[in-house]
Amino acid sequence: MPTSRELATRFEAYGEWRNRLEAGVADLHRWLHEHELADAQVDQRIDDVRQRLREDRLVVAFVAEYSRGKSELINAIFFADFGARLLPAAAGRTTMCPTELLYDPARSPSLQLLPIETRLKDETIDAFRSFPDEWTTFPLDLSDAAGMGAVLAHISEVKRVPLALARALGLEAVADSPPAHRLRGVHELTDVPAWRHAIINFPHPLLQQGLVILDTPGLNAIGAEPELTLNLLPSAHVILFVLAADAGVTRSDLDVWLRDLAGNDPAQRTTRLVALNKVDSLWDELKPAVAVAAEIQRQVEASATLLALSPEQVFPVSAQKGLLAKVNGDDALLERSGLLALEDALSARLIPAKRDLVAEATRTAVDALGKDVTDVLEARQRSIAEQLADLRELRGKNQDVVAHMMTRVNEDKDVFERSAHRFGAVRTVFAQQTSGLFDVIGLERLREHAGKTRRGIERSPFTKGVRNAMAEFFTTIRHDFGDAGRRGNEIHDMMQAMYTRFAAESRTTPYSPPPFSMLKYQKEIDRLERAYNEHFNTLWNMLSKAKFSLTQGFFETVASRVKHVYDVANADVETWLRAVMSPLESHVREHHLQLLRRLESVKRIHVATGELEVRIAELEQQHEGFSAQVRDVNRLVDAIDAILLAPDCLPAAANA
């Protein structure tokens, strides 16, 4: 059985691994500057890698119907060391809006709340993150546990509004709530959540390491807040689905599981875990322990079968007993609560999966950079070797031979200048093709598509009209990415031909620029279309023309998510274009420099033949210096690879 600190230890170890990785990249960058091998392009490439490492996040989403004990489970797993409940947890509904727990060192500890009325503005939650004045902010006093509890209780707040306003806000499920939550009369009233979204900025050690916890307010909110469905949940690295042990998988549980959580990719299901919470309700002191265990196991197997998961992915737990055991230091109760097994599964699935993604992206960037630098150094070595061969031939030769050699070097220089002229022409074509590529996947083009679709939905707010407008939107987006892919292939083929020709003329090793694929962006667009269509079918069962705002809200969320895809694609294309053009620029610049040095060397020998041996010695020393630099680059890259390939980021002490 793992220790109660293993989850925290694994997160801390992952953070240390990430810090070592960034330090290794920084060492490589520093060495490149010291040896004058870094330029603006190299600086940008390394800054991109380090920025990704610094901003790395691990997202765990907790999803459940209300009253499943989800907030209590978060308290028990992550915040028991605080000695009190960080999130409000009581009978009934406590979390009324999606809540993110994270740590941003640029801000002081606080609770930020986005008013529910912002749903009327047809803007996504993500858009409001850039406008702090739209949020209501409460500071958190870390020295006052009771005061923090009072502040965080705001998450549970509701407000009484006219039924028509609830429907305008898109809160159909709340508006159609049971009569106990409604006041009938001339002006019919109902209760709705006071807040649309909450962000808790809290300096917990796990959050400081990059953990982000997403607490959802119940299954109804998944339909009511489209950004939760289309953006926040899909971005989670692990989703923990919380059920009640006594009820198992209910109809509403199964519906949301199949629609929003199960995923179409079988590999994705390995990142889904299920907690059968409140298992202590099955603890019966009048039954033998074996009978109780068998009943719990039957619930585990039945839930796994209904959700099409392995029973090893379903964990019977008691969050309340686990939290109590941690606070009181009761090891026996903690083990019986089942919390440790769930923590171990979270750490075993979340951290290695995220680590693999970070390692792959870092390895690709560092290996490419190392190869480019090595290519430059090896080109310098080849140039030095050619000069040495020329100069060694001059030993004992007369001035006519030296003059002939100068003529040959000048001819090589003329060939290079013609090649450089072609390179200038290629750069012009490259700039034109690059501009055309960015026009196709630019934000201005996306705004045109979104505006056209928005107008189409408004003109025909019925099932067929909305479907047609959305189908055309996704078709147009896919066409743009297909066009961008073709343009990218044309750029790649042109540059490949230029590299091949330059290598033949300069007698260097040809470089193969990396290709670029639009497949991952197209797959994300396909996923968004599937998600929209699935939720549109569900929405339309609830909606009438008077309730149309929720459909518009879903479109705005889709448009926001598509914009994110465009943003990522633009950034990736920009990085790729640098990777395509930068080596050729470096090769041309380096070849020109070596030709000038070669010509200068022969001129010196032509003027004073006595300098021949001195010059040969200088070149031999330079050649060995470049060999040493190649070894240093490989050593630094290998050091980064050693960090990437370390078998486990868990310290030896934790493995003991």
Residue type, 42: V
Instruction: Judge if 404 and 348 occupy the same domain.
Output: no
- Neighbour tally for 354: CB within 10 Å: 19
C-beta of residue 492 within 8 angstroms of C-beta of residue 515 = yes
Reference 613, options 625, 604, 624; nearest CA is: 604
Query: Which pLDDT score is estimated for 547?
Result: 47
List 314's β-bridge partners, or say none: 274
Segments of the chain scoring below 50 in pLDDT: 1-4, 173-182, 186, 540-547, 651-656
Instruction: Provide the residue range defining the domain that includes 416.
Output: 394-607
Distance CA 195, CA 94 (A): 13
Reference 258, options 224, 306, 299, 300; nearest CA is: 306
Instruction: Judge if 508 and 441 occupy the same domain.
Output: yes
- Residues sharing a CB contact under 8 Å with residue 472, sequence separation 6 or more, in sequence order: 453, 456
CATH code for position 253: 3.40.50.300
Alpha helices (H) in 118-214, listed in sequence order = 125-128, 145-152, 163-168, 172-175, 205-208
Q: What is the pLDDT of residues 396-455, one digit of tens each?
A: 555 556 666 666 666 666 666 666 666 777 778 888 888 989 998 888 899 899 888 888
On whether residue 288 sits in a domain, the answer given is: yes
List 113's β-bridge partners, or say none: 136, 198
On whether residue 315 sits in a domain, the answer given is: yes
Instruction: Judge if 352 and 463 occupy the same domain.
Output: no
Q: Which two tokens stand for residue 285?
A: 């002191």
Strand, helix or coil for residue 629: helix
On whether residue 645 sits in a domain, the answer given is: no
**60, containing H or E segment:** strand 58-64
Strands 99-102 and 195-201: parallel
Chain Cα centroid distance, residue 276? 29
Query: Which pLDDT score is estimated for 412?
Result: 67
Instruction: Judge if 404 and 467 occupy the same domain.
Output: yes
On whether residue 189 sits in a domain, the answer given is: no
Q: What is the pLDDT of residues 549-561, one digit of tens each?
A: 556 667 777 888 8
Instruction: Judge if 202 and 284 occupy the same domain.
Output: yes
On whether residue 56 sits in a domain, the answer given is: yes
Instruction: Judge if 89 and 222 occupy the same domain.
Output: yes
Task: Indicate the pTM of the whole model.
Answer: 0.66
Instruction: Judge if 522 and 420 occupy the same domain.
Output: yes
The dihedral region occupied by 507, where left means phi > 0, alpha psi between -120 and 50, and beta the remainder, is left
Expressed in angstroms, the distance from the first to the final Cα of the chain is: 12
- Residues sharing a CB contact under 8 Å with residue 430, sequence separation 6 or more, in sequence order: 491, 494, 495, 581
Instruction: Judge if 349 and 409 occupy the same domain.
Output: no
C-beta of residue 577 within 8 angstroms of C-beta of residue 565 = no
Distance CA 284, CA 596 (A): 89
Distance CA 391, CA 358 (A): 49
Query: Which pLDDT score is estimated for 277?
Result: 92
Instruction: Judge if 351 and 484 occupy the same domain.
Output: no
Distance CA 629, CA 642 (A): 20
Instruction: Judge if 344 and 440 occupy the same domain.
Output: no
Q: Which two tokens stand for residue 438?
A: 């960015």
On whether residue 265 sits in a domain, the answer given is: yes
Instruction: Judge if 495 and 554 occupy the same domain.
Output: yes
Strand, helix or coil for residue 141: coil
Instruction: Judge if 423 and 518 occupy the same domain.
Output: yes
The dihedral region occupied by 83, where left means phi > 0, alpha psi between -120 and 50, and beta the remainder, is left
Report the number of distinct structural domains present in the chain.
2
- 157 backbone dihedrals φ, ψ, rounded to 5°: -70, 145
On whether residue 431 sits in a domain, the answer given is: yes
On whether residue 620 sits in a domain, the answer given is: no
